[in-house]
Amino acid sequence: MAELIIMPKLGFDMAEGTLLRWLISEGDQLAQGDVIAEIETDKATIEVESQFSGVVRKLVVEEGSSVPIGAPIAIVADAGESIDFETILAASASSSAEPADPAPEPRMMDHALSSSDGNGRLPGGVKASPVARRLAEEFNINLKSLEGSGQGGRIVKRDVEHSIAGQTDEASKVSLPVLPQLEGSETVEAPLTKLRGLIGRRMTSSKQEIPHFYLTSSFDAAAFMKMRSDLNARMPAEEKFSIHDFILKAAGLALRKFPNLNASLGDGKIIRHGAVNIGLAVAVEGGLLTVVIRDVDWKPLRIISTDARAAIQRARAGRVHQDDVEGSTFTVSNLGMYSIDSFVAIINPPEAAILAIGSVEDVAVVKDGEIVPGKRFKATLSADHRVTDGAEAAEWLQIFKGFIEDPLLLLL
């Protein structure tokens, strides 16, 4: 029985995906769960697994094609099975056609081998030297997360090596001796990376479409910082808690208690999500990724910490899973490590709110008429006025305050 592998929906807001790279070929034996392709959504590049076992009989779309969700991308069947590809594909097209917005036809592999821009097809969609590709594969580095320092923006060996070494300093090796005029204070044009372009488009759209409003409040951090310090004294080095673990847990509990901000604006309605999945903005080379920590409301702090740590590592290594980047219902952005007093974040659509966390500062606190040393941080909530309003948002912040300033509640 022939099975159609379709462009999977990799998030509730995904309309189409770009098939970046096939990891299988026609004729391959496939087991359920095998990774078959890299698919780029407007958020990230994701490895997709097969739902079926069998032999890959046909790859329906070529690499680089943008394909609406639900549209077939490959056909799997038994080895000897005789298949009428045209009939199957035609049947599938009639059943999956979107009534309002007709899906663009996926380009058939048979018809065109190069993409329509006439520049040919770059493997993996990036310009990288063969040795850079090989190294990146060896060390699990996503080439798309790197900026190329070679000619024409090509990612070369040294770029990957720097990434491996965690270096960002591009100047440590012989740097572009062929272009000495670029040294010093000259204006340099760097190509827009794919990730940077993506962030730009999403943020522009968010800021233009969503009527943001902002509320800033100051929170006492002394208690949870003391608790963190006490807990970390009992934890192995690789499992120590981060500040954001406490923020995530407090925000999660607050969202569970006051779910109006755990929402999206749907078609003429507000969708309040059942699960509390908080996105955590992570700086990666060349941009920003939001990794998702699921079910933060009921997961123990220690599990949240472990999940977040793993997701951040994958994001920085350029190997995010589908689950890492899809399905968040609220986002936390923490710039506390950069000595930021407070900042205003742009909502990560289609969410309704984002919480921007500033640095924990040692401050003089007036307590019972006395000036005492204290620790405080500021957080700014950006919210979608179409979904909520100032009073609701303020109420949520109060609830959040209750949790973060009484951190024993985070352990219950």
Which residues are the active-site residues? Answer: 385
Question: Nearer Cβ to another protein, position 188 or 366?
Answer: 188
**Residue selected from 9, 42, 93, 150 as contacting another protein according to rule CB under 8 A:** 150
Kindly state whether residue 21 participates in binding another protein, applying the rule CB under 8 A.
no
Give the nearest distance from C-beta 143 to another protein in angstroms: 13
Residue 117: CB atoms within 10 Å: 8
Give the nearest distance from C-beta 130 to another protein in angstroms: 4
* 61 DSSP 8-state letter: B
**Residue selected from 31, 90, 131, 235 as contacting another protein according to rule CB under 8 A:** 131
Question: Nearer Cβ to another protein, position 23 or 372?
Answer: 23
Residue 371 φ/ψ region, left for φ over 0, alpha for ψ in the -120 to 50 degree band, beta for the rest: beta
**Residue selected from 151, 167, 204, 229 as contacting another protein according to rule CB under 8 A:** 151
Cβ-proximal residues to 304 (8 Å cutoff; 6+ apart), any chain: 245, 248, 249, 252, 293, 296
Beta carbons of 154 and 147 less than 8 angstroms apart: no
Residue 212, beta-bridge partner list: 384
Give the nearest distance from C-beta 226 to another protein in angstroms: 52
Give the nearest distance from C-beta 176 to another protein in angstroms: 8
Residues in the chain: 412
Task: With H, G, I as helix, E, B as strand and everything else as coil, classify residue 302.
Answer: helix
Which region, judged by CB under 8 A, interacts with another protein, from 109-117, 154-162, 249-257, 347-355?
154-162
Kindly state whether residue 129 participates in binding another protein, applying the rule CB under 8 A.
yes
CA atoms of 171 and 176, how far apart (whole Å)? 9
Beta carbons of 384 and 350 less than 8 angstroms apart: no
**Residue selected from 58, 107, 144, 157 as contacting another protein according to rule CB under 8 A:** 157
Kindly state whether residue 312 participates in binding another protein, applying the rule CB under 8 A.
no
Give the nearest distance from C-beta 277 to another protein in angstroms: 40
**In 121-185, where does DSSP find H-type helix?**
130-138, 157-164
The identity of residue 341, as a single letter, is D
Q: How far is CA 56 from CA 27, 36, 48, 60, in A?
A: 5, 10, 15, 11
Question: Nearer Cβ to another protein, position 58 or 158?
Answer: 158
Kindly state whether residue 130 participates in binding another protein, applying the rule CB under 8 A.
yes
Per-position x/- string for 163-192, each x denoting binding to another protein as judged by CB under 8 A, each - no binding = -----------x-xxx--------------
Which region, judged by CB under 8 A, interacts with another protein, from 62-70, 150-158, 215-223, 386-394?
150-158
Per-position x/- string for 194-213, each x denoting binding to another protein as judged by CB under 8 A, each - no binding = --------------------
**Residue selected from 9, 21, 121, 154 as contacting another protein according to rule CB under 8 A:** 154
**Residue selected from 44, 156, 253, 301 as contacting another protein according to rule CB under 8 A:** 156
Instruction: Label residues 193-222 b or e (16+ Cβ within 10 Å = b).
Output: bbbeebbeebbeebeeebebeeeeeebbbb
| Structural tokens at position 287 | 């941009």
**Count of residues in contact with another protein, rule CB under 8 A:** 16
Question: Nearer Cβ to another protein, position 137 or 389?
Answer: 137
Kindly state whether residue 132 participates in binding another protein, applying the rule CB under 8 A.
yes
Strand ranges, E, within 147-228: 212-220
CA 195 to chain centre: 10
Closest of 378, 379, 287 to residue 332, by C-alpha: 379
Task: With H, G, I as helix, E, B as strand and everything else as coil, classify residue 345.
Answer: coil
Question: Nearer Cβ to another protein, position 157 or 316?
Answer: 157
Which region, judged by CB under 8 A, interacts with another protein, from 130-138, 258-266, 267-275, 386-394?
130-138
DSSP β-ladder status, 278-284 and 330-334: parallel
Q: Which residues bind another protein (CB under 8 A)?
A: 129-134, 150-151, 154, 156-158, 174, 176-178
